[in-house]
Amino acid sequence: MRVRVLGSAAGGGFPQWNCGCPNCRGVRRGAIAAVPRTQESVAVSADGEAWFLLNASPEIRGQLESFPALHPRGPRDSPIAGILLTNGDLDHCLGLLSLRESYPVTVYATDRVRRGFTDGNVLYRTLERFDGQVAWRSLTPGREEALTVPGGAPSGLTVTAVALPGKPPVHLMGRFPPDREDNVGFRILERSTGRVLAYLSGVAAVTPEVLRALDGAACVFFDGTFWSNDELVALGLGSQRAEDMAHLPIGGTGGSLAALADHRSGRRVYIHINNTNPILREDSAERAAVEAGGWTVAHDGMELEL
C-alpha cells in the first residue's frame, strides 16, 4: 500500500492566516526549525494507479497538484477513485466543493456525516449538476466495505470505519445530539498483503475501541492536534481546551503518548497537528519526546510504503 501525506496540519493550517502565535510567526519569518503544513489529507493506493483520499481539505487543489500521481492522465480524468471522510469538520469536507468541475466523485462517509454536509446546504447544489455527480457510499462502524475503482472493480483495498470518541462539527453543534457516527477512524486493509493502515486523525480519548482499531496495524496515523490541554489558553489564543474540542493531547500523564506507549503497533505517525503544537519545532523537547516514543511527526509530502 502506498501512502502519501498531502496535508498534515489541523484546521487553519500552519501558519494560520489570523495567527501570530510564536510558531506561526516563526515559520513565516523562517526563524524556527519548522516547515509550513497544509490541512490534513492523505492519499492511499494499492497499485499506484487508483487513489483514495482520506479527507478533502480546503487546500485540495494545491494538494492534488503537489503529487503527480493524482494528475489527470487524459483530457478529463482523475486518478481519485474515492474520498473517505472521517467527520464533517470543515477542514475535512470543504475540499469537496472545490471538486465541482463536472466530474463524478465517489464519497465514502457515515450517513450522519453525509447528511451533515448535504442537508440544507445550498452550496452542495454545485455537486448536483448532473445525475451521479457524487456517488455516496455509506460507511457503518464495524462493517468492511470494498473500495472500488470507477466501473465497480475492487481496488485491492477495503475500509472498516471505527466509531471514535469525538464530536459533531462546530457548525452543527447544538443542532443534533451527538452520535457515534459523527467521528470515525479507518482501518484500511490491503487484501493482497493483509497490511492495515489505521487512520485515526480525530480522537478525544483512548478507549478499548480505539486500542482495538490500532491492533496489528502496519502503520498508525493518530490525532496530533495539541501537545497540552491548555495550549490555546496558555498562548492567549482562546478559552477552549483540547478536551473541549474533542482532541486528546499528546503530552501529560493522560496524553496519547503515554496511553499508547505499550501499544507497539508498526510505524506510528502524528497528524492533524495544530499550528500551536511544539512538536512542529524540530528542535523542541516535545518533538524529541514523541520521537523517543517511536512516533514520527507527519509533514506534507511524506510518503510511506506499507
Check: CB of residue 198 under 8 Å from CB of residue 221.
Answer: yes
Q: Which does 19 bind (CB under 5 to 8 A by kind): ligand MLT, Mn ion, Zn ion, none?
A: Zn ion
Binding test (CB under 5 A) with Zn ion, winner from 110, 148, 275, 277: 275
Residue 32 binds Zn ion (CB under 5 A): no
Contact characters 175-214, ligand MLT, x per CB under 6 A: ---------------------------x------------
Question: What is the Cα–Cα distance from 109 to 135, expressed in whole angstroms?
Answer: 11
Residue 10 binds ligand MLT (CB under 6 A): yes
Check: CB of residue 272 under 8 Å from CB of residue 224.
Answer: yes
| C-alpha grid cell, residue 115 | 447528511
**Is the CB of 91 or the CB of 181 nearer to Mn ion?**
91
Single out the segment in contact with Mn ion by CB under 5 A; choices: 54-62, 78-86, 88-96, 119-127: 88-96
> DSSP letter at 11?
T
Burial of 29 from C-beta contacts in 10 A (0-12 / 13-18 / 19+): exposed
Burial of 264 from C-beta contacts in 10 A (0-12 / 13-18 / 19+): exposed
Residue 185 binds Mn ion (CB under 5 A): no
Binding test (CB under 5 A) with Zn ion, winner from 19, 184, 220, 259: 19
Single out the segment in contact with ligand MLT by CB under 6 A; choices: 42-50, 72-80, 84-92, 130-138: 84-92
Selection from 33, 37, 13, 57 nearest residue 302 by Cα: 37
Binding test (CB under 6 A) with ligand MLT, winner from 170, 173, 234, 261: 170
CB of 92 to Mn ion, least distance (A): 7
Residue 24 binds Zn ion (CB under 5 A): yes
Order of strands, edge to edge, in the sheet holding 196-200? 144-148, 154-163, 184-190, 196-200, 219-223, 267-271, 295-297
Binding test (CB under 5 A) with Mn ion, winner from 89, 182, 190, 300: 89
Q: Which residues pair with 222 in a beta bridge?
A: 200, 270
Selection from 116, 53, 62 nearest residue 89 by Cα: 116
Single out the segment in contact with Zn ion by CB under 5 A; choices: 3-11, 15-23, 53-61, 260-268: 15-23
Size, binding site for ligand MLT by CB under 6 A: 9
Selection from 35, 19, 12 nearest residue 287 by Cα: 35
Q: Which does 90 bind (CB under 5 to 8 A by kind): Zn ion, Mn ion, ligand MLT, none?
A: ligand MLT
Question: What is the Cα–Cα distance from 125 to 145, expressed in whole angstroms?
Answer: 27
* Contacts with Zn ion, residue ranges (CB under 5 A): 19, 21, 24, 275
* Contacts with Mn ion, residue ranges (CB under 5 A): 10-11, 89, 91
* Contacts with ligand MLT, residue ranges (CB under 6 A): 10-11, 89-91, 169-170, 202, 245
